Structure 1
């Protein structure tokens, strides 16, 4: 079972998501909470996936995200939002979010998005992807420490990084370049260590700054909408 916690200041949103997700045979909503209760509930119940409202009156969603991400064996966190706001996208992703889910997502899609997150996936709308890859450009220079760290990667690690930035899971990366999922997992762990980042999304942002993702289309390599793969799996 995929254990989910829904965090939102609106009771209607919490109950609606709980009803929809509990209808799936492989998903259990173990808790719903407001932002003020969120971190303590995560520590107590240890959900696999947290769906976290990005804007709440009692506590800022980004603050809750950062607190959750400091926990040992932190769960996957996706932000809930009513709009694709460029103002928050990169901040949340750089802080460790595995993506965004719009609150008006079709009910039949919601369970699949949670499965994607639990399997190590990234859930981003096309606009969020464009914001990552184009709206916050700034290809780094040779003086950029992050870009210099990308230069430390082996040729194989760079190949894996580009596929990770496409949103592929370890299994999908392995199928693409004929490696086992375990070998890809080892490569991803080495990449995150060398780049000094904590998530696959953050690694993708560094890949963009280093110019590895150039020429991959107007939506960017992550611009495939809901159901992409890639962030928390190592």
Structure 2
């Protein structure tokens, strides 16, 4: 069972997300709270995934995100926004968010996206990928200046990076490349080290920026 905490200042958004997710097999919303209640709810319920609003009147979503990332057993966090171009995107990804979703996500897509997050996949709303790439890289000039020629990935690492950039989890990558999850994890760690990035989201953005996959600056 994937345990979810939904954090949003709007009761209608919280109830809507909870209704959709609780109807999905293998998913349970264990708490639906405002920003000011988020840290306590996460501490009490120990969720696997937190869906966190970026802009809330009682507390900044980015502040909540950073506090969650300081916890020993930190959950996977995906940011929620109503905007397809948000100045907080770069800060959220830099602070450890594993995904960025629009609140108008198709209800049929929500549960699969949550499952992907839980499996370790990169989950970014397609409508905001260009803004994510440009906004994130604009805050990280050294990453923006890198090219595919600057980084020496072996063939297997390159394959793993391409699938990682498609949003696949370690399990999904292993299935495509006929590798164990442990082996994939080792390859992902090597890729992150060679790219000098902190997480899978940043690696995916790098791949888009240098044109290894569609959707970013290489389009």
Other-structure match for 1:22:
22
Q: Is the 8 A contact 1:89 1:128 kept in 2?
A: no
Per-residue deviation, 1:169: 1.9
Cα pair distance change 1:176/1:134, threshold 3 Å? farther
Residue 155 (structure 1) shift: 4.9
CA distance in 2, matches of 1:121, 1:141: 25
Q: 2:216 — aligned with what?
A: 220
RMSD over aligned Cα atoms = 3.1
In the alignment, which residue of structure 1 is the partner of 2:89?
89
Supply the distance in 2 between the matched residues of 1:193 and 1:116 (Cα, whole angstroms): 23
Q: For residue 232 of structure 1, what is the aligned residue in structure 2?
A: none
Q: What's the TM-score once normalised by structure 2's chain length?
A: 0.82
TM superposition shift of 1:3: 0.2
Q: TM-score, normalised by structure 1?
A: 0.78
Question: How far is the alpha carbon of 1:157 from its aligned partner?
Answer: 2.9
Corresponding pairs, count: 216
The structure whose RCO (Cα within 8 Å, separation 6+) is larger is 1
Give me the whole-angstrom Cα distance separating, in 2, the residues matched to 1:85 and 1:183.
36
Shift of 1:178: 3.6
| Cα separation, 2, equivalents of 1:49 and 1:99 | 11
Question: 1:43–1:141: structure 2 CA closer, same or farther, 3 Å change rule?
Answer: closer
Shift of 1:26: 0.9
**What's the CA shift for 1:152?**
6.7
> 2 CA distance for matches of 1:15 and 1:201?
28
Describe how 1:87-126 pairs up with structure 2 within 5 A: 87-126=87-126
Residues 94, 201 of structure 1: 8 Å contact kept: no
Structure 1 residues 20 and 126, CA gap change in structure 2 (3 angstroms): closer
Q: Which has the higher helix share?
A: 2
Give the secondary-structure state (helix, strand or coil) at the position aligned to 1:13. Answer: helix
TM superposition shift of 1:42: 1.1
Provide structure 1 residue ranges, at least 5 long, that are not aligned to the other structure.
224-234
Deviates more, 1:98-107 or 1:187-196: 187-196
User: Does 104-113 or 34-43 show the bigger shift?
Assistant: 104-113
Match in the other structure for 1:7: 7
Cα distance in structure 1, aligned partners of 2:176 and 2:207: 19
Matches within 5 A, 1:32-43: 32-43=32-43
Contact 2:66 2:95 in 1 (8 A): yes
* Structure 1 CA distance for aligned equivalents of residues 53 and 142 of structure 2: 35
Offset at 1:92? 1.3
Matched, 1:157 2:161: no
User: Could you tell me how far apart the structure 2 residues matched to 1:206 and 1:220 are?
Assistant: 9
